[in-house]
């Protein structure tokens, strides 16, 4: 006797249910993993009063920083929110190892017409600040008015940018602060996970402890940093 699968051309009786489940489990939005991270950590920040500023290294058009403020502001531990980017369509000055190790284009189409336009769009968000500059230039960071960083989100694709951002974040993170690295599993080489190697070297240099927090598919990982 023919069962349903021959009538419907479905290989498994419950293939439609599987399709529905796959759709339901799949990401609904390109920045979903970052939102999930903020939702995951907000209780820890609030309960333990982990106070400081949020810094996003590579904030593109500001969508994630906008959502971050929505989610984390209720914790009452956030000083300010900073987004750093070149905010331009100019080509980045990339090293040969950047070019060799990266599958991304050196250009990111900047959706606002100018830096002033993004600032204008966020003018009612008092705590959100944008800094225009190269992450590989130490002067860029001088514009940050922070006491300590409690949440650092590193999302800048290129190895050189990732390295200087990791160094700046660790130099300024508070005890029990969170670090999210979006490009953790992107630079895979014969020598291993390049970003992981950089991070562990910098943690060791400072005698900090790196506590694994969560992995966010497809290639992000987050940590808590213990300074003592
Ligand atoms: C993947 S996008 C960031 C996405 C953003 N965090 C979000 O969630 O919407 C990467 C950004 O990093 C910036 N970036 C990469 N290297 C940089 C550098 N050296 N200096 C400044 N910005 C840099 C690019 O301009 C680009 O906008």
Does residue 112 contact residue 121 with C-beta atoms inside 8 Å? yes
Q: Measuring from atom 5 of ligand 1, which residue has the nearest CA?
A: 59
Q: Is the pTM of this model over 0.85?
A: yes
Q: If pLDDT is split at 50, 70 and 90, which confidence band does 228 have? A: confident
Give first-to-last CA distance, the chain, whole Å: 70
- pLDDT tens readout for residues 178-194: 999 999 999 888 888 99
**Which ligand 1 atom is the nearest neighbour of the CA of 104?**
1
**Which ligand 1 atom is the nearest neighbour of the CA of 133?**
21
Q: To the nearest whole percent, how much of the chain has pLDDT over 70? A: 86
Q: Measuring from atom 2 of ligand 1, which residue has the nearest CA?
A: 60
Which domains can be identified in the chain, with CATH numbers?
A: 30-226 (3.40.50.150)
Structure tokens at 133: 């500059």
* CA 154 to centroid of ligand 1, rounded, Å: 9
Position 2 scores a pLDDT of 52
* CA 227 to centroid of ligand 1, rounded, Å: 27
**Which ligand 1 atom is the nearest neighbour of the CA of 110?**
27
Residues with CB under 6 A from ligand 1: 31, 34, 56, 58-60, 63-64, 85-86, 92, 108, 134-136, 155-158, 161
* CA 57 to centroid of ligand 1, rounded, Å: 7
Phi then psi for residue 198, to 5 deg, are -60, -50
* CA 61 to centroid of ligand 1, rounded, Å: 9
Q: If pLDDT is split at 50, 70 and 90, which confidence band does 154 have? A: very high
* CA 162 to centroid of ligand 1, rounded, Å: 10
Does residue 54 contact residue 82 with C-beta atoms inside 8 Å? yes
> How far is Cα 64 from Cα 120, in angstroms, rounded to an integer?
17
**Which ligand 1 atom is the nearest neighbour of the CA of 156?**
12
């Amino acid at each position: 006797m023919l069962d349903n699968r021959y009538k419907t051309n479905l290989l498994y009786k419950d293939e439609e249910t599987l399709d529905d489940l796959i759709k339901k489990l799949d990401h609904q939005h390109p920045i979903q993993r970052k939102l999930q991270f903020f939702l995951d950590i907000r209780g820890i920040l609030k309960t333990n009063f982990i106070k400081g500023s949020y810094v996003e290294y590579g904030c593109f058009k500001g969508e994630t920083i906008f959502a971050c403020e929505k989610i984390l502001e209720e914790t009452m531990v956030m000083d300010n929110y900073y987004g750093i980017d070149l905010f331009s369509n100019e080509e980045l000055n990339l090293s040969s190892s950047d070019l060799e190790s990266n599958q991304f284009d050196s250009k990111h189409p900047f959706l606002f017409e100018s830096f002033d336009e993004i600032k204008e769009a966020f003018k009612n968000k008092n705590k959100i600040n944008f800094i225009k500059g190269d992450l590989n230039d130490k002067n860029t960071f001088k514009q940050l008015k922070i006491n300590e960083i409690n949440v650092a989100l590193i999302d800048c694709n290129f190895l050189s940018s990732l390295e200087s951002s990791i160094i700046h974040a660790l130099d300024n993170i508070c005890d029990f602060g969170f670090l999210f690295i979006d490009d953790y599993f992107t630079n895979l080489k014969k020598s291993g996970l390049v970003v992981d190697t950089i991070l562990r070297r910098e943690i060791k240099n400072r005698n900090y402890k790196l506590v694994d927090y969560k992995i966010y598919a497809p290639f992000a990982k987050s940590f808590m940093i213990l300074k003592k």
